[in-house]
Amino acid sequence: MKISHFPSNLPNNAKDVYPQLTDAIKQTDTLVENVMDADAALIWSVLWFGKMSANKNVWDHYRSQGKPVIVIEVGGLIRNKTWKLGINGINRDADFAINEYEDDSRINKLGIILQPWKQQGDYILVCGQHGHSEQWRNMPEMGNYFKKTVLEIRKVSDKPIVLRSHPRFREGLHWSCDMQWFKEQGCEWNIPKHIQQTYDSFDLEYMLKHTHCTISHSSNAGIASVIAGVPAVVSESSLAYDVSTKFDSWLSKPERNQWINRLSYTEWFAYEIDQQWMRIRNKI
């Protein structure tokens, strides 16, 4: 199999895992650069922004021909330590070659511990995403998304609402925001704070300590919320969908053990990314 990758379209943190992946691919297949007629393509993420903007042409071209696109991106369980590798997308839209029943060996290795479901919190937290991601296709303009979500919340709850944009797709900077409207609805905006001495981690974990319920589309926020014991409303594209709640059943608290076991098989340390490559290669 001939697989084409595009090494000019990588973020800075790719150096921590990308060489291990390309080495693994070379052990089993032919790896070429910047070729548009290979059997499959390898790209970093589906965020069409910055260095990765050119990957959209690759994605569109290969998917229009029905050819697989292998996507690697940063993980969310141990950010910048674990990495996701899937076929034809990210999050729940991707195929990670997960078996029906996965054991708990990986979640124990990762050291992720489910926190008890919370009973109450101070506010409802709405998390946005990056508007240039393929994950945001067919979604409304970001300001309209937040407005629509606030109106849905107000049908079922009068709790305070905290709105939190993606740290690199901020209100008033990357999209226009009617601040007065949100203020009238009892909302306040939260600015994500970068955690020092990390590449791109932010303070969501601190926010979750005070959160009653989270609402997000398909980002890592839903996963982090469920692990922290905070009920989450998410879309079907989210990897937290199977253990999420709904607007009309705010605080449903499903069993999470099977879910977290399966989720752990979507993320891999750099030194073991070759294992995930072999798992998904058998499905390409």
Residue 151 maps to which CATH number? Answer: 3.40.50
pLDDT at 54 over 90: yes
Statement to judge: residues 67 and 131 lie in one domain: no
* Contact present, 162 and 125 (Cβ < 8 Å): yes
Number of domains in the chain: 2
Contact present, 231 and 213 (Cβ < 8 Å): yes
User: Do 162 and 63 sit in the same domain of this protein?
Assistant: no
For residue 191, tell me if it sits in a domain. Answer: yes
- Residue 203, pLDDT score: 84
Mean per-residue pLDDT, 173-184? 94
Residue 200: Cβ-neighbour burial (10 angstroms; 0-12, 13-18, 19+) = middle
150 in the same domain as 66: no
185 lies in some domain: yes
- Residue 91 sits in the same domain as residue 131: no
- Residue-wise pLDDT for 197-239, tens only, equals 666 678 899 999 999 999 999 999 999 999 999 999 999 999 9
> Mean pLDDT, to the nearest integer, of 256-261?
96
- Same domain? 219 vs 141: yes
- Which pLDDT value is given to residue 101? 79
3-state SS class at 202:
strand
Pairing of strands 2-5, 40-44: parallel
Judgement on whether residues 137 and 215 belong to the same structural domain of the protein: yes
Return d(Cα 122, Cα 125) in angstroms, integer.
Answer: 10
Share of the chain above pLDDT 70, in %: 97
Domain range for 243 is 123-255
Whether residue 244 lies inside any domain: the answer is: yes
What is the arrangement of strands in the sheet containing 30-33, beginning at the earlier edge strand?
Answer: 30-33, 2-5, 40-44, 69-74, 82-87, 268-269
Q: How confident is the model over 119-172, as pLDDT tens digits?
A: 889 999 999 999 999 999 999 999 999 999 999 999 999 999 999 999 999 999
Q: At residue 192, does pLDDT exceed 90?
A: no
What was the pLDDT predicted at 144? 97
Q: Cα-flanking dihedrals φ and ψ of residue 5, to 5°?
A: -120, 170
Average of per-residue pLDDT values in the chain: 94
Give dist(CA 257, CA 126) in Å, integer.
Answer: 25
pLDDT band at 250 (very low <50, low <70, confident <90, very high): low
